[in-house]
Every structure is written in structure tokens, then in C-alpha cells.
Structure 1
Amino acid sequence: MCNILSVKTVIARISEGKIKSLDIIEVESVGEAIKKVVSDILKEWDPEKHDLIITRHESSEISESKESIPIYVLSPSSEWVGEELIEKEIITVFPYVNEELTNEVLRVLSDYNLKSLVL
């Protein structure tokens, strides 16, 4: 039975500019999905080697869509090289609106991830 108050949420793992995994799940809230992802990431994160960065953006910052949704970007394997931040892998969590917006957000974040690897 589907929970009437559930929210479709996108969780994608991007590495080297490529989408490594993509799941669309139904959860009580996007916030709960983020907490679960962070909890899972903490198990594999190495604080001796990497920073763990979590940022929140609005889709209006990267999309011309009329929809404005929160986009959370988690970077469990980021490193500073001089003044540059290298994000080897990012995980994004955001509410699912439609396929077009999902594809646009993932394209922009994949491009960003790839560019962050090039110094």
C-alpha cells in the first residue's frame, strides 16, 4: 500500500562525470532521504583522507525550469588541492518533479563533477 504522504525522491551517485547509480524512491520526506544517505555515507567516509561536504541549492540556480526545488549535493570524497576543491564523487538528493527536470539536474551535476576533476 502506498503512503499518501510519500514524496518521490531522486538519489544519484555521480563519479568522473558519469551517473553510477540512479534511484527514484518514495519516502516520507526528502529530508528523511538525505538523513539516510548521510548515515550510509558516514559508514564509508574516511575523515583522514577526505572532507565531507553537504550543500543545498535551488534548482532555479541551474535550471530554467519554472519549478524550483531543493537539490542536496553530498561530497564524501572531496579534497583540497591548493585553492581548488576536487570532488571525486558526488551524491545528489532531490524531489522528483518530472523526467525533464531530473535529466537537466543530473546533466549539470555530471558536468560539474567532471570539471572539478580537471585542474
Structure 2
Amino acid sequence: MKILILRAEYGEIKEKMISEGDLNKILKEVIIRTLDLWDPNKSDLIVVRHSQEITIKLPIKKEQYDLYSQFNLRRKGDYASFDVPLYLVSFENQWIDNNIVDSKVFVVSPYIDDYVSEKIEELAINITSPENEKEGEEEELEE
């Protein structure tokens, strides 16, 4: 199985790799690698399993159907959606009230195709965007 590994920092993709192997084994290798990058005095080290919904406009090709149907493919009007399992390894973060703001993360997921890879890259960028940190601070000030 092909596995997508992304490292995102402050709203930018710093590293993108596609590896061949077992998802759990590669995830554990990424976590071990993360230990060298993590500063325990600065933040928590958090690993979260997540399912990301991906939406694509219909019609789709037979090859796409074959790929996406492995991930709970369903139709919603003119669109199809499916859930991609992924792991978020956050190694630089801060808590603002009850919310966590991630600055540096690895995202590990099955590599399905370029379209899905782009959507997961967008997710990694959004998660680590400095704008998310500002929004958290603004929410804290409003209370």
C-alpha cells in the first residue's frame, strides 16, 4: 500500500513523501522520527486518528470509483464523498482555552491519488496556518 506522509509547519508543506508499506508500521516510524523534532519543554506530542471527508464532483471515472469505493463512497446530489483515514502527529502546539492550535504536524494517510493528496495537503496547511492561532487568541479575548 502507498502511504502519504506530509510535514506541515506554519501553513506550509515542508516535506511530502510517498512510501510503500504498512500504514501502521510507517506511522510508527514517523512518530519515532518526530521525537527528534519535538521539544518537550515547548509543547505536547499528540497523535490523533482522524477520518477526513473528501468530496468530488460527479461524474467520476471507473478507476476513481474503484479507488474511492474502498473508503465508504456515497453520493450527495452532484457530488460523491468518501472518508480517508489519517493520523495527525502534532509536535509543536499550544492550548488556547479548550482548543489546541497546531504549528507543526505530520499527516500520515493512505495515498489514493493526486486529487486526494491535494485535499490532504490543504488540510495540513489549514491546520498549521498562523491564522488559526490568531483566531484562537481572538476567541480568547472575546470571552
Q: Quick check: TM above 0.5? A: yes
For 2:41, which of 22, 37, 48 is the aligned residue? Answer: 48
Q: Counterparts of 1:14 and 1:87 in 2: how far apart (Å)?
A: 10
Match of 1:3 in 2: none
Match of 1:11 in 2: 5
Alignment check: 8 A CA contact 1:16 1:117 kept: no
For 1:89, which of 104, 113, 126 is the aligned residue? Answer: 104
Alignment check: 8 A CA contact 2:13 2:124 kept: no
Match of 1:117 in 2: 133
Alignment check: 8 A CA contact 1:85 1:116 kept: no
TM-score calculated relative to the size of structure 1: 0.82
Superposition deviation, residue 86 in structure 1 = 2.3
Larger Rg: 2
Q: Counterparts of 1:9 and 1:82 in 2: how far apart (Å)?
A: 34
- The answer as to 2:26 corresponding to 1:33 is yes
What's the C-alpha RMSD, in Å, of the aligned pairs? 1.6
Kindly indicate which of the two structures has a greater share of residues assigned to helix.
Answer: 2
Q: Note the residue ranges of structure 1 that are not aligned, 5 or more in a row.
A: 1-6
Superposition deviation, residue 98 in structure 1 = 0.5
Superposition deviation, residue 45 in structure 1 = 1.6
Q: Counterparts of 1:21 and 1:35 in 2: how far apart (Å)?
A: 18
Identity value in percent:
25
